[in-house]
Amino acid sequence: MKVAIYSRVFEAAQKDDVLKLLHQLNEKQIEPVLYDSFYHQIRHLLPEDFSCSVFSSTHELNDQFECLISLGGDGTLLDTVTLVRDKKIPLLGINFGRLGFLASIGREELDSAVASLTNHTYVKEDRTLLHLESNLSLFGDTPYALNELAIQKLDTSSMIKIHTYLNGAFLNTYWADGLIVATPTGSTGYSLSCNGPVVFPDSGSFVITPVAPHNLNVRPIVVPDTNVISFEIESRSDSFLCTLDSRKEIVSKHVQLAVKKEGFNIQLIRLNENSFLQTLRNKLSWGLDRRN
């Protein structure tokens, strides 16, 4: 069995956990294949008799991999989405970051995670992606996102007007600093911080959330993910900021954008004892009211 391992940046505080993970994988005869830049950051820490393979691009990943392990926070796991693409390799996120909605397996659960991989007792959850279309090529060959698309004004420029349509029918003009279209997975991210609702991962919907709207009666709305959501931008500036998860491009205001459901899904691994409700309670402290 092989697993790929990805991390953005290695920190000294992670040393013991990383070495523990690699040791346990070897013990269970699971071959770790490390992302090239991560391997070069930690190779001086590895035992002399330790050997492993490396990979540097999505083209080196195939169906021989049991999963791809992300070591870091949610941003690190979002990076891996652009690596696995449509290869149907499940993602297992181990949280070395802060909150960890996506990378929900704590470093104290390393033993359980390796045991689940060994015994195939984990659960794979399908997560919807959104796909960005435009009349100008944007984001290369990865024009999709697991969390959200965000359209935002640049720096200190004036608010922008975002004319928004559902399947060609006019929905609203948002006078705002920006607009977010989030998947159910992304509903607990940027959208939530802008007062968007929490949506269950299997709800089959998109959340449209304005960022600092000028009209106080404008609120987030949940729409079926069968809709194509399109936009026309008006701005005093010549361009605006467009982001897919943690990737961004500066785009001319004359570019036309549309969002729809991507043609493939991403699979996230969770341990049997974890669930979305447990994650909400653990990360948002729901149910911990003293009156309970």
Q: Extract the tokens encoding 120.
A: 């195939």
Do 211 and 274 have their domain in common? no
Do 41 and 83 have their domain in common? yes
Q: Extract the tokens encoding 244.
A: 């897919």
Q: Answer whether residue 32 is part of any domain.
A: yes
Q: What is the pLDDT of residue 216?
A: 86
The yes-or-no verdict on residue 38 having pLDDT over 70 is yes
Q: Answer whether residue 290 is part of any domain.
A: no
The yes-or-no verdict on residue 272 having pLDDT over 90 is no
Q: Answer whether residue 289 is part of any domain.
A: no
Q: Extract the tokens encoding 240.
A: 């605006």
Rounded Cα distance between 65 and 174, Å, is: 44
Which range of residues forms the domain containing residue 244?
A: 130-261
Q: Extract the tokens encoding 274.
A: 């974890």
Rounded Cα distance between 257 and 59, Å, is: 29
Q: What is the value of pTM for the model shown?
A: 0.92
Q: Answer whether residue 292 is part of any domain.
A: no
**Mean pLDDT over residues 158-181, rounded?**
96
DSSP 216: T
Report the run of H or E that residue 5 belongs to, with start and end.
strand 2-6
Active-site residue, from 16, 49, 74, 202: 74
**Backbone φ and ψ of 24, nearest 5°:** -70, -35
Which residues on neighbouring strands pair with residue 130, listed in sequence order?
Answer: 145, 261
Q: What is the CA 23 to chain-centroid distance, rounded? A: 28
Rounded Cα distance between 160 and 255, Å, is: 14
Residue 74: active-site member? yes
Do 105 and 145 have their domain in common? no
Cβ atoms of 146 and 240 within 8 Å: the answer is no
Return the CATH number at 113. Answer: 3.40.50.10330
Do 215 and 226 have their domain in common? yes
Do 185 and 210 have their domain in common? yes
Q: Across the chain, what does the average pLDDT equal?
A: 91
**How many separate domains does the chain show?**
2
Do 158 and 116 have their domain in common? no
Do 134 and 123 have their domain in common? no
